[in-house]
């Protein structure tokens, strides 16, 4: 095995760890807003690491560009969907966590 293979294994393993952390955040955090935050941040980093590991193994520039485009599209869509879900939850009256320091969302809705 070459050093590239070892870096690929480490990157993909770390990516899976971030996916697992995001899933645990989804299950453990107290309200919809903190769950969304944990899930979108961890999944974007996890996918980025997995794409990085896959990029080290591709043999053509076309495949590398496709992987980067997929990652970029997932980042855009996950941020957009998280924003729409949070806005919808806020408009429907879902409460924020009681231990939150402040609530600045009322002035934006």
pLDDT digits (tens, 9 = 90+) for 2-47: 999 999 999 999 999 999 999 998 899 888 888 888 888 898 999 9
Q: Is residue 14 part of a domain?
A: yes
Q: For the CA atoms of 10, 60, 67, 50, what is the dihedral angle to 10 degrees?
A: -10
Q: Is residue 47 part of a domain?
A: yes
Domain with 42 in it: 3-97
pLDDT digits (tens, 9 = 90+) for 48-106: 999 999 999 999 999 999 999 999 999 999 989 988 988 888 888 777 776 666 666 66
Among the listed residues 81, 85, 90, 93, the one whose alpha carbon sits nearest the alpha carbon of residue 109: 90
If one counts every other C-beta atom within 10 angstroms of the C-beta of residue 52, the result is 19
Contact 93, 76 (CB under 8 A): no
Q: Is residue 34 part of a domain?
A: yes
Q: Is residue 81 part of a domain?
A: yes
pTM (2 decimals)? Answer: 0.80
Nearest-angstrom CA–CA distance, 25 and 37: 9
Q: What is the pLDDT of residue 13?
A: 96
Q: Is residue 91 part of a domain?
A: yes
Q: What is the pLDDT of residue 104?
A: 63
Q: Is residue 108 part of a domain?
A: no
The total of structural domains in the chain comes to 1
What value, to the nearest 5°, has the Cα angle with vertex 74 and ends 69 and 75?
100
Q: What is the pLDDT of residue 102?
A: 64
Angle between helices 32-55 and 61-91 (to 10 degrees): 180
Q: Is residue 9 part of a domain?
A: yes
Q: Is residue 107 part of a domain?
A: no
């Amino acid at each position: 095995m070459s050093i590239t293979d070892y870096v690929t294994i480490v990157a993909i393993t770390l990516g899976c760890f971030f996916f697992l952390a995001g899933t645990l955040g989804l299950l453990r955090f107290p309200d919809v807003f903190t769950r969304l935050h944990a899930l979108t941040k961890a999944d974007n980093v996890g996918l980025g690491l997995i794409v990085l590991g896959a990029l080290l193994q591709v043999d053509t520039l076309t495949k590398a560009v496709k992987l980067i485009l997929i990652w970029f599209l997932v980042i855009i869509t996950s941020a957009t969907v998280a924003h729409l879900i949070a806005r919808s939850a806020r408009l429907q009256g879902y409460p924020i966590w009681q231990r939150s320091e402040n609530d600045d969302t009322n002035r934006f809705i």
